[in-house]
Amino acid sequence: MKKPQINKRSLGVNFGADGLAQIAVWAPLVKQISVVVDEKKLDLPLKGEDYGYWTLTTDKIQPGDRYMFNLDGEKQRPDPASLSQPESVHGPSEALDISTFNWTDALWTNHKQDAYIIYELHIGTFTPEGTFDAAITKLDHLVEVGITAVEIMPVAQFPGGRNWGYDGVLPYAVQDTYGGPEGLMRLVDACHAKGLAVVLDVVYNHLGPEGNYFNDFGAYFTDKYHTPWGNAINFDDAWCDAVRLYYIENALIWFRDFHIDALRMDAVHAIKDLSPTHVLKEIKQHVDELMALTSRKYHLIAELDLNDPVYINSLNNNGYGIDLQWIDEFHHALRVTAGEPQTGYYSDFTGIDHLAKTYRDAYVFDGIYSPHRLKTFGASASKNKGNQFIVFSQNHDQVGNRMLGERTSTLVSFEMQKLMAAAVMCSPYIPMLFMGEEWAETNPFQYFISHTDDELVEAVRKGRKEEFKAFHAEGETPDPQSEDTFNRSKLQWQLLTQPRHKEMLEYYKTLINLRVNHKALRELNRENLSVTADAGKKILMLQRWHEDEKICCVLNFSDSVQQVDLPENNNWTTLFNSADEKWGGKAIIQQEEAARAASVQPESVTVYINRYV
C-alpha cells in the first residue's frame, strides 16, 4: 500500500528539483484519467498504478498552469489535493511550486504549549479587507496585548467568499479570496517574525456540500456511520487506506510546507474509526517523524465532546497522543455562573460548584450522570497535566451558534466581562481569547455563507430557523447568505479610540501580564491548586502556588459586596483588582496593605499574593 511521505507531498501536482511535474491522484473506480490544461490544449493520460492510484511525470505542465482531471472522458473535476483554486471550488486547480517561497523564519522556535496565550480569529472578519495581508498589519496589536499564538479558523477552499470555513471542500487548497497559499505563507512568516506561533483550524470529520466532488474519484465516504453533516469520512471501511493517507499528508503539509506550528482539529469525536490504530493516533505518529526530520516542535489540538482522555493520553500510555484539547465544559460552567440561563446543553451545569470542579478536574462530567444526556458520561482526566487543556469565555462556536450571534459584551455587564476574563486567565490551563474580546467588541459574530446553489442556500436558511425556532420571539434569525450578515460580523477597530473600549484593552493587557510574570499563575501545575466555592454568596476562591509564591484569586459573581476570610497563616497583599478605578470600577485599592479578610466588590475579582520562604 502507498505510504505517507514525510519529507514531501506525494499527492496532486508537485514539482521536483528538475522542474518536472509529478502528478498523482487516487481514483480506483475510473477506467482512465487524464490531466487537462485548456489554455495549452493539453490532455495528458495518466498511468494506472497499484491500489487505485494514477501517476504522470511530465515537462508540459508548469507552475501557474490551471488544470482539471478528466475522469473516463465524462467529467472534469478539480484536483482533490489542489493547493490553489483561483476560480473557486468548481473551477480548475492551479499548479504551484510552493518550495520557492522565500521564508525568513529559519531561527523561529515554536513556544512550549505552556506558554501559549491563544487568539482565535476569522480571516474574513478580522479586518475590513478580510485577507491574510491585512491581518499582518494587526500583528503588532496582538503582540502588545500579550498574545503568543494566533489561531486561524479554517482556510480550506469553500464556495464563494463568505464562510466560517467549516464548509471547505478542498482540504489542501487555501481560500483564494483570503490571498491563497502565498498569502497564508506571508502571514505565517510575519507571525514568526513577531514571536507569534500559528495554529490552523482543520476539518477532518466532514467535507462541505457544494463543490464536493470526492465521490467521483473514490470511496472517500462511508455509509457505515453518519455525522451531523452526512456520511462519515471513510477511515475504516473498504478503500480506507488511501483516505487515511490523504488526511495524514494533509496534516504534514501544514507543518512542513506552510510552517504552521499547531493544528486545531475540529470535532474529532465525529471522526468515526474502529481500526486497530485510530487515524488520529496515526497522524500523531507521522507528525512525530516529521519533528525528528525538521527538528521543529509541532502541537496537535483536539476539539472534543467526549470527555475521554484517551485522545490526549500519550502514545506510550495507549493514547492517541494529541497534545491539547478545548474544554467546552469550563466555558459552560463559567457562563452559567455568570448568569446564562440553564437551557439546552447549559442545563447540565449548576454554576459555581461546577466551575470549581473544572478548575480541579478539567472535565465536569468525568464519570458522573449527565441529566442533559440522560446517561453517565466521561472519564477522569486527573492524570493529565494542566497544559493539555485550553479554556475560554467565548469562541467562534459559542458566540456564532447563538441565534443572533451576540458577544459577551452585549450579554453581561462591563464588570462581569472583566471577571470572566480573569476566570480564564487565573486558571491552571492555557487561555484563549476570541477576536475583539480584548476591547469588548459589540458587533455580533453570526453564521454566514456564500453558496451558489439556490436549493442549498434555502436548506441552510430553513435549518437555521428550525434550530432557533424556540427563540424567534427575540427576533428573526439572520439570513446566513446575506452579505449584511457577514459585514455585521466584522470587527470594529475604530472602537479602540473610545474610552470604555480602551479601558477594557488595557485591562486585558494587564491581566495577561499578571499571568505571565507570576510563576504561580504561569506554571500549569494542577497539583499546586486548591479551590472552594460558596454557592450562596456566589464566591469562588482559587489558590495556586509555585516555589516561594502563593496567589489567591477571589471571584465574586454576585451583584453585592461580599466579605471573605482569606486563608489563614498568610499575610496577603492585594496584587490586582478588577474593580480598581483605573479599570472603570469603584474600588480604591491600596496595593501595599496586608490582609486576612477581604471585602470583594460585586462582579469582580481580587488577586492576592503572599511570598514566603
- Rounded CA separation 215/193 (Å): 41
Give me the CATH code for the 12-100 domain, please: 2.60.40.10
- Rounded CA separation 11/187 (Å): 25
pLDDT value for 227? 85
Quick one: three-class SS letters along 586-608? CECCCCCCEECEEEECCCEEEEE
Q: Considering only CA atoms, which of 393, 355, 365 is closest in space to residue 309?
A: 365
Would you put residue 538 in left (φ > 0), alpha (ψ -120 to 50) or beta?
Answer: left
pLDDT value for 559? 96
Q: Is 266 a catalytic residue?
A: yes
| Mode of pairing for the β-strands spanning 93-94 and 12-15 | unpaired
Q: What is the CA 473 to chain-centroid distance, rounded?
A: 32
Name the phi and psi angles at 608, rounded to 5.
Answer: -110, 155
pLDDT value for 595? 63
pLDDT value for 475? 73
Q: In angstroms, how far is the first alpha carbon of the chain from the final one? A: 62
pLDDT value for 592? 44
pTM of the model: 0.97
Name the phi and psi angles at 289, rounded to 5.
Answer: -60, -40
pLDDT value for 143? 98
Quick one: three-class SS letters along 379-415? CCCCCCCHHHEEECCCCHHHHHCCCCCCCHHHCCCHH
Mean pLDDT for each 10-residue chunk of the chain (613 residues)? 90 96 97 97 97 98 98 97 97 97 98 97 98 98 98 98 97 98 98 98 96 97 89 96 98 98 97 97 98 98 97 97 97 97 93 98 97 96 97 96 94 98 98 98 97 94 80 74 97 97 97 97 95 97 94 97 88 93 74 68 95 61
Start-end ranges of CATH 2.60.40.1180 in the chain?
Answer: 527-611
- Rounded CA separation 521/544 (Å): 7
Q: Which fold has domain 527-611?
A: Immunoglobulin-like (2.60.40)
The residue annotated as part of the active site, out of 120, 201, 236, 266, is 266
Start-end ranges of CATH 2.60.40.10 in the chain?
Answer: 12-100
pLDDT value for 613? 44
pLDDT value for 593? 53
pLDDT value for 471? 53
Total residue count of the chain as it appears in this document = 613
Query: Which residue has cell 479554517?
Result: 154
User: What DSSP state is assigned to residue 93?
Assistant: E
3-state helix vs strand vs coil in the chain, percent to 5: 30, 25, 45
Q: Is 303 a catalytic residue?
A: yes
Q: Are 165 and 153 in contact (CB under 8 A)?
A: yes
Residues near 272 by Cβ (< 8 Å), separated by ≥ 6?
222, 224, 225, 227, 232, 233, 235, 236
- Rounded CA separation 49/56 (Å): 10
